[in-house]
Chain A
Amino acid sequence: MLIRELRVGAGLSQRALAQRAGTSQPAIARYERGVATPSWETLQRLAAACGWRLGLDPEPLPDPGDIELAELLLGLSPIERLRALKRYARLREIATAKP
């Protein structure tokens, strides 16, 4: 999917991309159909041939408990969420108020 998007965005045919990246047109076709998976190095080379640099951007896995809470909140309509915020803000203010 990514390779096809980058290739089409760069206006390249599969053959032209293969030539630029030093691989074969059938290999590109296999990657794009998802029947073969390129190595990270090959993927970077293909992206570079399309004018892109691929980077790794690690981020922590979401906490399942946070996802569950978000799903609960998303079960409310936007106006219900807004009104819930008022209630929760009040509760938090009470909880953190100095005696």
Chain B
Amino acid sequence: MTELDPEKLLRALVDREVDFCVIGAVAAWLQGNPSVTLGLDVMPRRELDNADRLAAALNQLGARRRGADERLELEGADFLGWETQSFDTDAGPIDVVPHAAAIGAFEDVATVELALGDFSIRVLTIDGVIASKEQLGRPKDTAALPALYATRAALRKRRS
């Protein structure tokens, strides 16, 4: 598995003008959550033109199915379903998540915009990350909650 290079992954998506938001642990990290992750989760807008751009970005990143060596030639139609798809790329692992527990799909989620140097992205709010983890309720999600509550407290303190 290639090491995670989140900047390279995100820049590839932004350069291809993919409509997406970052969810999961990277969204939480970018808002101050001190729990390291080894993969990026993105939620794209589920629409054919956008899916075409997403496929092009992943092809450019040399996407393979997680654990496989063969490079894929992805097409937009590959991203019109509702299932999560996991890829390894030249810039590390990425999960494409069209729908997630508690938060729904791209059109439903509350996001904040973050400027990352010369580009910007949208990330799921910390409340959204917490709601998703609470609803999923798997041991790894429950274990992540105390640090997420702490992050929310730190964010509220900064805003007050």
Contact = CB atoms under 8 A, between A and B. Distances in A.
A97 to B, nearest CB: 11
A89 interface: yes
A9 interface: no
A98 B26 CA distance: 25
Select the residue from B7, B30, B34, B116 with max chain A CB neighbours within 10 A. Answer: B34
B149 A62 contact: yes
A88 B36 contact: yes
Given A67-B154, A70-B150, A78-B116, A85 B4 contact: yes
B17 interface: no
Interface size class of B (residues with CB under 8 A): 20 to 34
The binding surface of chain A is classed by DSSP as helix
24 contacts: A60-B145, A62-B146, A62-B149, A62-B150, A62-B152, A62-B153, A63-B147, A63-B150, A66-B149, A67-B154, A69-B147, A70-B33, A70-B147, A71-B32, A71-B154, A73-B34, A78-B115, A79-B117, A86-B4, A86-B6, A88-B36, A89-B4, A89-B38, A93-B3
Interface of A: 59-63, 66-67, 69-74, 78-79, 81-83, 85-86, 88-90, 92-93
Interface of B: 3-7, 10, 26, 29-34, 36-38, 92, 114-117, 145-147, 149-155, 157-158
